């Protein structure tokens, strides 16, 4: 068991050295999710434990059950499940939702309260599940911190353990995730749209929520966290409207 672990660690490191040593591969490394699914789960578990210590996780079962029920229904739209997806609610007035590596989705109470119905929440959760499914959080982390750092984190190297809290909160507050590419955001919108459609929610849920949030932003002059990291809201709204005529291809779920 130990031997296998060491060998796989060694193999992982050697692979990294080979990849890192080849300059011509560099442009691909940036976009290539070099962390395996089990490794991503392990990193996600570490962040999840840290966030549970640092943020006010809601224990009210009525709220949790509502969010989990919507999330679990959406999950039925995925052709495969790489992760043990789970959903947490954070006591926080700002309307926000975020996803950390390993398929772990967080929703603020502020977002739940801003949503008029389950369809709007399904739209938001579908979008977040789209990020999780295509492993955007792990990709963002790799891009932001580099492979060496993540390897240390993965093997609980003492030099990274002290920074786990900062890193977890950075993830939660969108510091890293604001670096999702526009392509990632559009992809998450497409997957979210397909999920709500396949699982019988109204396809206009996310659209209605975004329209409402955009008005809120205009009224307060402050950017809403859920939107701050995304392409311009009018662009996303126009794109989501176009899905009603031209539904995104299911091929986005097969990548
Ligand atoms: Zn997003």
146 CB-near residues (< 8 Å, 6+ apart): none
The yes-or-no verdict on residue 11 having pLDDT over 60 is: no
Distance 247 CA to ligand 1 centre (A): 19
Distance 185 CA to ligand 1 centre (A): 5
Distance 170 CA to ligand 1 centre (A): 16
181: left (phi over 0), alpha (psi -120 to 50) or beta: beta
Least confident of 86-90, 117-121, 214-218: 214-218
- State pLDDT tens for residues 46-82: 999 999 998 999 999 999 999 999 999 999 999 999 9
User: What is the domain partition of the chain in residue ranges?
Assistant: 1-32, 36-253
Q: Cβ–Cβ contacts within 10 Å for residue 143, how many?
A: 17
Structure tokens at 75: 């999950």
At residue 63, the pLDDT reads: 98
Per DSSP, the three-state class of 252 is: helix
Structure tokens at 71: 């999330």
Distance 14 CA to ligand 1 centre (A): 33
Report yes or no: 105 and 99 within 8 Å, Cβ to Cβ. yes
Least confident of 115-129, 133-147, 199-213: 133-147
Distance 63 CA to ligand 1 centre (A): 22
52 CB-near residues (< 8 Å, 6+ apart): none
The yes-or-no verdict on residue 152 having pLDDT over 50 is: yes
Structure tokens at 203: 């396809």
Distance 161 CA to ligand 1 centre (A): 28
Percent of the chain at pLDDT above 70? 83
Phi and psi angles of residue 57, each rounded to the nearest 5 degrees, phi first: -80, 125
- State pLDDT tens for residues 179-218: 678 889 999 999 999 999 999 999 999 999 999 988 888 8
- Choose between 201 and 10: higher pLDDT: 201
Report yes or no: 107 and 126 within 8 Å, Cβ to Cβ. no
Percent of the chain at pLDDT above 90? 54
Distance 236 CA to ligand 1 centre (A): 11
């Amino acid at each position: 068991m130990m031997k296998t672990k060491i060998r796989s660690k060694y193999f992982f490191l050697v692979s990294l050295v080979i990849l890192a040593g080849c300059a011509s591969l560099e442009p691909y490394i940036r976009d290539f999710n070099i962390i395996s699914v089990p490794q991503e789960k392990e990193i996600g578990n570490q962040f999840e434990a840290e966030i549970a210590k640092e943020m006010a996780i809601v224990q009210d079962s009525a709220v949790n059950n509502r969010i989990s029920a919507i999330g679990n229904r959406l999950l039925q739209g995925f052709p495969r499940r790489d992760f043990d997806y789970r959903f947490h609610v954070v006591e926080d007035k700002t309307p926000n939702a975020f996803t950390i590596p390993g398929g772990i989705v967080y929703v603020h109470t502020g977002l739940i309260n801003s949503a008029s119905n389950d369809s709007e929440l399904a739209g938001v959760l579908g979008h977040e599940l789209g990020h999780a499914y295509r492993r955007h959080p792990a990709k963002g982390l790799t891009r932001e911190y580099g492979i060496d750092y993540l390897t240390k984190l993965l093997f609980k190297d003492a030099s990274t353990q002290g920074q786990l809290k900062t890193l977890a909160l950075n993830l939660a507050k969108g510091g890293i995730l604001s670096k999702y590419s526009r392509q990632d955001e559009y992809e998450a919108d497409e997957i979210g749209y397909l999920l709500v459609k396949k699982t019988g929610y109204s396809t206009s849920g996310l659209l209605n929520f975004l329209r409402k949030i955009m008005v809120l932003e205009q009224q307060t002059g402050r950017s809403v966290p859920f939107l701050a990291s995304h392409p311009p809201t009018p662009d996303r709204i126009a794109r989501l409207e176009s899905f009603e005529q031209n539904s995104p291809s299911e091929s986005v779920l097969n990548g």
